[in-house]
Every structure is written in structure tokens, then in C-alpha cells.
Amino acid sequence: DLDRFKVYNDSFGHAAGDVALKAAARTISSTMRREDTVTRYGGEEFVAILPGVDIQTAPIRAQEICDTLAKVFMYNPKTIFAPLTASVGWATYPVDARNRDELLNRADLAMYMAKKRGRNCICGASELESVAALDSVLSEVVAQLASADTVGPGMVATLEKRLGQIANSSHLEELAEGMLSPNSEATLEALNALAASIDAKDPYTSGHSQSVAKLAEDLGDMLQLSPAHKNQLRLAAILHDVGKIGVVDKVLLKEGKLDEDEKLIMRMHPILGARILQPIKAFRQILNVVLHHHEWYDGSGYPDGLAGQNIPLHARIVSVCDAYHAMTSTRPYRQRRTPEFALAQLEAGKGTQFDPIIVDYFIQMMRKRQAENPDALEADVHDDHPGTPEAEAAS
């Protein structure tokens, strides 16, 4: 994927962008063997198929593409010469994937990680940890959830042991189609079990998904959302952290601040969550909430840097509820914050991290609870979830 190509287009015009695309195509093609195939995949993305290239050779070929592109400088009258660089993700079959769709998805995910590392570099799917084993595990999980009469502690315990690596399943739709619908009791039980499984990966996260969902549901009442929208909001809040299934324990359970590489891994969880849910039609209306609940109102969040009203409303709601519950919960390296501290932090984050209107309604909701029951805010303090708004924004 060509780096910052939208900026290039906006700065120099689409005609210059077309010239750059053609130059990129020629340059990438120059690195190919006769048996290789390279094609434009869409926008500024290119896909290369390299038969016979194994996991040892793939990074060498990927680096060759990256280095060759970096030597290309496009002339334009504004900056005279502008460098043309790319972020390259690679994956091999059958080590990283079981079929062509998985292979492309894994390479795409690796490419995104390369961009997060600073662009103009490569990343292999193997660096994201192998998903072949987890693919079948997730298929099994969905099948269990969809077919179970009840979801009890035993199943949750089983799921907790099985979930823990990056997921990209091509079988979810096959298993879930026709079994799950957004409003069915089976779906709600499945969601609750899946959320409990996510929380169970870390003893400090017990009940976080349900707590955020309850706050979001109550805030939806304050905002006078329709019943259908409140239902979508609740489902999204329950599953907002589903992508953390794909975060390795050494990062998720780390006591202390994450380093830069660990932050990059943690920041993949919204993307992973959306991809896990995407094959299930019943959940497609909440994908953007799962994907964008870490966007900041000022555009400095992730994964897409959306700002203001471009961030889905339900994602803005979940963001506030998630931050509040994170602050009022204990983390391995710090004690929980008081409700008053959390509300003050939300107030301070208006217009930067949070939607000002959503924060105002949330604070109004919490003050109303306090007026009705002076101990209500203290009752919202938890000993379970590891996060402050700062930590959550960085994770």
C-alpha cells in the first residue's frame, strides 16, 4: 500500500497521483520474476502473487519491493521531488493461511501493522502470530455458542482456555448464518458468553463488557435513542473489545506501561474485532462501533483518525462509557479512581478525546443517579478492569 497517497493526491492533484500509480506499478513489476503476478488491488494498493516463495524468502522479496520503491522520486512543481514509499505486508501459504482469502487477509493485516510501525517498511503475517490453529478454535466456539441450549460457567471456562491469539476465520459465516439473529435469546446468550470469555483472559477485566453495556444502555435512554438503536448500542458495547481475543497475554496482562511495539499490537484490537464479527450478518450493523470506539473527537485516535461527527454515534457513546468504567476500576499497577475524578477527566476530555454533548449527557445521567441515591456513584466503582482513559486511549 503506497504511503500517504491521499495526501499526495490532495497536494499535487489527481493527474499527478495517476502518474505516481503508474510509476509504482512499473517499479513493483521490475522486481517480479516471469512466474510472478502483480496487480492493482484498489486505490493505492497492489497485490503480488509469488509462486514458490517460502517463509524464508518472502521477507527478502518484500524488502526488495519496499527498497526499490523508496528509490523512486516523483517530480512535481511544488516540492520538486517527492519520495514514493510503501508499506508491505506479506503472508505465505500454508504457514500463515489455509486458503487464498485468508492469505490475502493476513497479508493485509501485516501491511496495516507495517504502516503503524512508521511506514516504508515490511511486516510478515508470522509476526502477528500464527492463526491457523485459532481459526478452527473460533469456528468451534461459534458452533458451540450457536447450538448450546444454555451458556453456563463451564462453557465460559472452556472458551477462556481456548481463546487467546489473533483470529481471522473463514468459517464463521458458514457456522453462524441462520443460527444467530440480533434479537434472539440465543444470540444474547452467545454474546454474553463471548464477552465473558474476553473478560476471563484477564482477572482484572471481569464484567467489564457487561458494565460498559449497562452504562451505554442507560445513556441511550438519556439520549432518547429508539429501541432498535438502543439494542444495537447494547450489542456493540458488549462486543466492543472482542478483538482482544487476538492480543497475546504478554501484552494484554502486562503490569506497567506498554512499549511502542506493544501499543501497536494493542491498537490492532478494534480491527481484529470488526473482522471477527464481519462474516456474521446479524452483527454487521455494529461493526463500525467495534472498529471506531477508540477514535478521538479531535481526530487523533485510531485506527482511522476519524473526527467529530464522522465517528459513528454509538462509537462515541461506547468511548465515554468505556473510559469511565476503566477509570473507576483497579489495574495491576494502580488503584481505581474515584467517580468524581473520572467525571472530571471526562469533562477535561471534551472536544479532544470525547464528544462534548455525549459527555454532558453522561455526567447528567450520573448526577441524576447520585441525586436519587447518594451512594450510587460509589457503587459504580469496580475492582475489576485494568485501564485509565489515558491507558485505554493508548491501547
Which domain-ending residue is among 94, 128, 162?
128
Residues 212, 360 within the same domain: yes
Residues 170, 291 within the same domain: yes
Residues 22, 78 within the same domain: yes
C-alpha cell at 222: 438519556
Nearest to 254 by CA among 206, 314, 204, 188: 204
Q: Which CATH number does the domain housing residue 120 bear?
A: 3.30.70.270
Residues 390, 360 contacting (CB under 8 angstroms): no
C-alpha cell at 200: 476471563
List the catalytic residues.
244
Q: 296 in helix, strand or coil?
A: coil
* Integer-rounded Cα radius of gyration of the chain: 23
Residues 313, 203 within the same domain: yes
Q: Looking at 18-177, which runs of residues are DSSP E strands?
A: 37-42, 45-49, 73-76, 80-83, 88-90, 122-124
Nearest to 239 by CA among 299, 188, 203: 188
pLDDT at 226: 92
pLDDT at 331: 66
Amino acid at 71: K
Residues 114, 154 within the same domain: no
What is the domain count for the chain?
2
Q: What is the pLDDT of residues 147-201, one digit of tens each?
A: 444 434 444 344 434 443 333 333 334 334 433 444 555 555 555 656 666 655 6
pLDDT at 383: 43
Residues 33, 136 within the same domain: no
pLDDT by 10s per residue, the chain, length 395:
998 888 777 777 888 889 889 999 999 999 999 999 999 988 899 999 999 999 999 999 999 999 999 888 765 555 545 678 999 999 999 888 888 888 888 888 788 788 878 889 999 987 765 333 344 444 444 444 444 444 344 443 444 344 433 333 333 343 344 334 445 555 555 556 566 666 556 655 557 888 899 999 999 999 999 988 998 899 899 889 888 877 777 887 787 788 888 888 889 889 888 887 776 777 788 999 999 999 999 999 999 999 999 999 999 999 999 999 989 987 665 678 899 999 999 999 999 999 999 999 999 999 998 888 776 565 554 444 333 344 343 33
Categorise residue 295: left if φ over 0, alpha if ψ from -120 to 50, beta otherwise.
beta
pLDDT at 185: 53
Q: What is the pLDDT of residues 227-283, one digit of tens each?
A: 889 988 998 998 898 888 777 778 877 877 888 888 888 898 898 888 877 767 777
pLDDT at 311: 96
pLDDT at 164: 33
Residues 120, 198 within the same domain: no
Residues 73, 118 within the same domain: yes
pLDDT at 106: 83
Residues 66, 159 within the same domain: no
d(C-alpha 76, C-alpha 65), whole Å: 23
pLDDT at 224: 94
Residues 47, 154 within the same domain: no
Residues 214, 162 within the same domain: yes
Give the Cβ contact number of residue 217 at 10 Å. 18
Nearest to 329 by CA among 240, 198, 214, 206: 206
pLDDT at 202: 60
d(C-alpha 49, C-alpha 35), whole Å: 9
Q: Which residues contact 226 (CB under 8 A, 6 or more apart)?
A: none
Q: Are strands 73-76 and 45-49 parallel, antiparallel or unpaired?
A: unpaired
Residues 190, 200 contacting (CB under 8 angstroms): no
Domain that holds residue 41: 5-128
Residues 262, 329 within the same domain: yes
Q: Which residues pair with 37 in a beta bridge?
A: 49
Q: Looking at the chain, which runs of residues are DSSP E strands?
A: 37-42, 45-49, 73-76, 80-83, 88-90, 122-124
Q: Which CATH number does the domain housing residue 209 bear?
A: 1.10.3210.10
Q: Is the dihedral of CA 196, 199, 200, 206 positive or negative?
A: negative
